[in-house]
Structure 1
Amino acid sequence: MKKFISFIFTILITVQLLNAQTPLRVMTFNIRLNTPSDSLNAWPYRKDKVASQILFHKIELLGVQEALHDQMMDLQQRLPQFKYTGGGRDDGKTKGEYSAIFYDTTKLQLLSASMFWLSETTSVTGSKGWDAAITRIVTWAKFKDKRSKKIFFAFNTHFDHMGKIARRESAKLVLQKVKEIAGSTPAVITGDFNAEPSDEPIQVIVDKNNPLHLTDSKELSQTPHYGPTGTFTGFQTKERNDQPIDYIFLKGNWKVLTHATISQTWGGRFASDHFSVIAELLFK
């Protein structure tokens, strides 16, 4: 009888903990590099808009793409509760675009972090892979959620925009690296993959016949997706089409409460040439 009561008590406590769990709010955001040729869409006019999206939506884990060092410093200044991990793709430090991970230090504890390059020589700084036009990188981090005490990994990347082979092989490499680095621990994979859902890189990533496959968080959302389905505008008046190129993929036992694409404008101007994508996640 005592064992039975203890068993029931354990179940009740578990249910209470699950019900009380606070969602992890994740965003992926290609913030567009700082270039004066963007005129009134250049970074100095957008940096406060980008930061305000992150803060308003109470994001706790953020993967940014195309961020140059000065943009990283601008965001760090505007996100005082956040720190970041990652470096520029050219030297692993401050040169070139970052695919960095920002995290809310009041909610998440960084346990370890590193980077690898999307190439045949993943540990060679600045290496360019296959037929890629540009050097590409992945930043990863291991976190402890201070509220739930759960451990998880985060990966953030930006696939090449030209090389078909590079995008395909990058997709395969990411799957291998998520398994190698995270193992059976849950993982969140954010990024601008420069590929639509029907394109080969995404098909490689979500192929359920591959035990290493990832799942698009949008497909798991318990509430219907909110906002446009396309994520790229090129600073035009609306998204280019209805197909996303920015994603939040998942590995492991996650529950997805909501999924959204944020298309906010200020006087008809966007925060970036991409929409940010957000998801609320729970550890099952």
Structure 2
Amino acid sequence: MTFNIRYDNPGDGVNAWPNRKDWVASLIRYHGADVIGVQEALLHQLTDLDARLPGFARVGVGRTDGKTKGEFSAILYRADRLTLKDSGTFWLSPTPDVAGSKGWDTAIERVATWAHFADRRTGCEWLQLNTHYDHIGEAARQESSRLIRRRLLTLAKGKPVIMTGDLNTEPTHAPYRILTTESLQDAVAPLADAFVTSRTGSYGPTATWNAFKAIEANRRIDYILVSPSVAVEQHAILPDMWDGRFPSDHLPVIAAITGICR
């Protein structure tokens, strides 16, 4: 699952985090995801989810200082199902190993958090990556896509990849194409969009942005991308609501993936 949970902004009024946190946790529990990539999460929001999601552990750091400050692109996972073998975070910048670094035309620090998992039942291993692209800089989004594909070559070491994220870009735009079709040296092969490759199609709306108001047509900016070898059985964009309100300004996206080991 990928889920931009919207940062805790008191100015959101009725949609502020204290009014949504139980809904966000309930949605995650109900849909039964083993791994969730969250975006825009502040530390206290993650602590709130920790208390409401027993059995889950997480990795990730704040994008501002590489520790606790700023938003996290954290990865939550079921500790009873998965073994964490390694993890880390890098910055979407020309100096990706420098905490808090920015580059290109980005407005804000941006990060990608990764985790090397092994399934306790099957032994299958893969590299999970979660990210949140800049909302302003087009050059930053394109360069972030190139950086991620190159980093994945080193991090995955031939293992399958599952990538989640709010990319702030639509499928017709260059940052998406760089991830999914562009020929790139010293990089992993282009990734496949689970929305497209799901064997049963995609359930739900075709957009993921709602601004706490209504789902905006064609605004699909949240993705689950996978290595070409990975089989996707199901994919859904979840329009769940409580009392007529969304739990976030983005819709969560979930996929059932069965073909990691072949």
Same topology, TM > 0.5: yes
Superposition pairs of residues 20-39 of structure 1, within 5 angstroms? 27-39=1-13
Structure 1 partner of 2:141: 167
Superposition pairs of residues 203-282 of structure 1, within 5 angstroms? 203-207=177-181, 209-210=183-184, 212-236=189-213, 238-282=214-258
The structure with the greater share of residues assigned to helix is: 1
Residue by residue over 1:208-249, the C-alpha shift from the partner in whole angstroms, topping out at 9 and shown as x without a partner, is: 54463111011111102100110001111x212223100000
Q: Which segments of structure 1 move beyond 2 Å, counting only runs of 4 or more?
A: 208-212
Structure 2 partner of 1:146: 120
The amino acid that maps onto 2:113 is: T
1:180 Cα shift?
Answer: 1.4
Superposition pairs of residues 110-129 of structure 1, within 5 angstroms? 110-129=84-103
Instruction: Determine the C-alpha separation between the residues in 1 that align with 2:157 and 2:229.
Output: 13
Structure 2 partner of 1:132: 106
Contact 1:133 1:162 in 2 (8 A): yes
Structure 1 partner of 2:18: 44
The Cα RMSD (Å) is 1.0
Structure 1 partner of 2:37: 63
Relative to the length of structure 2, the TM-score reads: 0.96
The amino acid that maps onto 2:140 is: A
Identity of aligned residues (%): 46
Instruction: Determine the C-alpha separation between the residues in 2 that align with 1:276 and 1:262.
Output: 6
1:156 Cα shift?
Answer: 0.3
Structure 2 partner of 1:189: 163
Q: Paired residue for 2:64, among 82, 90, 106?
A: 90
Instruction: Determine the C-alpha separation between the residues in 2 that align with 1:242 and 1:265.
Output: 20
The amino acid that maps onto 2:42 is: L
1:165 Cα shift?
Answer: 0.7
Contact 1:47 1:74 in 2 (8 A): yes
Instruction: Determine the C-alpha separation between the residues in 2 that align with 1:54 and 1:258.
Output: 17
The amino acid that maps onto 1:136 is: R
Relative to the length of structure 1, the TM-score reads: 0.89
Residue by residue over 1:147-174, the C-alpha shift from the partner in whole angstroms, topping out at 9 and shown as x without a partner, is: 1111111000000000111011001001
**Structure 2 portions without partners, runs of 5+:** none
Contact 1:31 1:67 in 2 (8 A): yes
Structure 2 partner of 1:72: 46
Contact 1:157 1:193 in 2 (8 A): yes
Q: Which has the larger radius of gyration?
A: 1
Alignment length, in residue pairs? Answer: 257
The amino acid that maps onto 1:215 is: A
